[in-house]
Amino acid sequence: MNQWLVETVQEAGRIALEYLERGFTVERKPDGSPVSSADLAVDVFLRDRFHMEFPDDCLLTEESPDDPGRLQRRRVWIMDPIDGTANFISGRPDFGILVALCVDGKAIESVAHFPLLSLTLYARRGDGTYVNGRPVEVSRECTGEPKVVAAKGRFEPLHTAPQLFRNNAMALFQVATGEIEGSVIECSPSAGEHDYAWASCAVEAAGGQLTDADGNPLRYNKLERKMPRVLVGSNGAVHAALLERVQAVEG
C-alpha cells in the first residue's frame, strides 16, 4: 500500500473538517455548481504536495485551470478536492476527497477518503482494493435480483438496493466493497474525469467493472474532460444483464 498517498489524502480530509468547524464561504462556478473555500484550500494543499513528490507528473484537478501539457504526459494525477461539495456545504457526511493516478489513460492507483465517515479506500491494479487497511472485493452474487443503486430519474425503475445515495461516489464505493452488486449513474453536465477516475481503479481492482452504457471501458486524460452520459458499475457477474436493462431504458 502506498502509505504516502493514503496519508496525504487523509491530511486533505482533515483540512476539509477544519473548514467545517470554523466556517467557509461559498461561490458559484460558471456552470452554476457550488465551490467552497474549503474546496480551494484542499486543492492548493494537494497540488503543492503532489508537485513536490512527483515533479515530473501532471495534475488535473476540478478546481484548477487545465494544463494542456497533460495530453503529452503518460502519468497524470486526477483529483477532486471535495467530491459532493453540496453535501459538504449542507453538513451531510457523504463527501470525499478523490485521487487517481492514470497512466496512458488508464486509472491504476487511487484513494477515496470520506472523512466524516472515517472511511479510506485504497486501490491499485494487481494489488487489490482496501478499506481502512482491510482487503475488500466485489460481491460474488450472480443469481436472483441484484442490489442495484440507480438515482431518481429515468433509471429509477432499476433501483433495487435498500439505500439511495446523494453521492454517486458512495454507490461505487459499495460496489467495490461488495455491499451492492451494481450502480447505474447518469452523469450531470458538470461531471468530469475527476469524479470517476478513482472508481475505475477501485471497482476493477476489487474484481468488478465500470464502463459506459455500451460496455466500453473508461479512459482518462482525454482532450474533453467530460464523462460518458451514463456509467454502469457492477461486480462483473451481473454486468451484461445490467447493461441490457440500461440499454432498454435508453431505447
Residue 236 lies in a domain: yes
The pTM assigned to this predicted structure is 0.94
Query: Is residue 60 domain-shared with residue 132, that is, in the same domain?
Result: yes
Residue 220 lies in a domain: yes
Measured CA angle at 232 (ends 226, 234), to 5 deg: 140
Query: Is residue 211 domain-shared with residue 231, that is, in the same domain?
Result: yes
Query: Is residue 68 domain-shared with residue 34, that is, in the same domain?
Result: yes
Last residue of a domain, one of 109, 136, 163: 136
**Grid coordinates belonging to 203:** 471497482
- Measured CA to CA in angstroms, residue 50 lies from 1, 2, 119, 134, 223 at distances of 17, 14, 22, 25, 22
pLDDT at 209: 98
Helices and strands in the chain: count of H runs, count of E runs:
6, 13
Query: Is residue 13 domain-shared with residue 130, that is, in the same domain?
Result: yes
Query: Is residue 159 domain-shared with residue 184, that is, in the same domain?
Result: yes
Last residue of a domain, one of 86, 107, 136: 136
- How big, in percent rounded to 5, are the helix, strand and coil portions of the chain? 35, 25, 35
- Intervals of the chain under pLDDT 70: 164-166
Phi-psi region of 233 (alpha: psi -120 to 50; beta: other; left: phi over 0): beta
Query: Is residue 130 domain-shared with residue 152, that is, in the same domain?
Result: no
Measured CA angle at 247 (ends 194, 217), to 5 deg: 40
Whether the Cβ atoms of residue 64 and residue 47 lie closer than 8 Å to each other: yes
Query: Is residue 109 domain-shared with residue 180, that is, in the same domain?
Result: no
Residue 142 lies in a domain: no
Residue with cell 429509477: 156
Last residue of a domain, one of 136, 170, 202: 136
pLDDT at 250: 87
**Grid coordinates belonging to 60:** 488535473
Q: What is the pLDDT of residues 59-93, one digit of tens each?
A: 999 998 888 888 889 999 999 999 999 999 999 99
CATH number of the domain enclosing 17: 3.30.540.10
Antiparallel, parallel or unpaired: β 58-61 and 75-83: parallel
Cα–Cα nearest to 220, from 80, 10, 84: 80
10 Å CB burial of residue 70 (0-12, 13-18, 19+) is: buried
Query: Is residue 66 domain-shared with residue 185, that is, in the same domain?
Result: no
Whether the Cβ atoms of residue 78 and residue 102 lie closer than 8 Å to each other: yes
Question: Total domain count for the chain?
Answer: 2
CATH number of the domain enclosing 181: 3.40.190.80
Q: What is the pLDDT of residues 230-245, one digit of tens each?
A: 999 999 999 999 999 9
Q: Around 151, how many Cα atoms within 13 Å sit in the side-chain half-sphere? A: 15
pLDDT at 190: 82
Average pLDDT, the chain: 94
pLDDT at 82: 97
Residue 141 lies in a domain: no
Query: Is residue 119 domain-shared with residue 153, that is, in the same domain?
Result: no
Query: Is residue 92 domain-shared with residue 159, that is, in the same domain?
Result: no
Query: Is residue 37 domain-shared with residue 125, that is, in the same domain?
Result: yes
Query: Is residue 152 domain-shared with residue 124, that is, in the same domain?
Result: no
Which structural domain range is residue 57 located in? 3-136
Between CA 74 and CA 105 the distance in angstroms is 8
DSSP track, 76-141: EEEEEEEE-HHHHHHT-S--EEEEEEEETTEEEEEEEEEGGGTEEEEEETTTEEEETTEEE-----
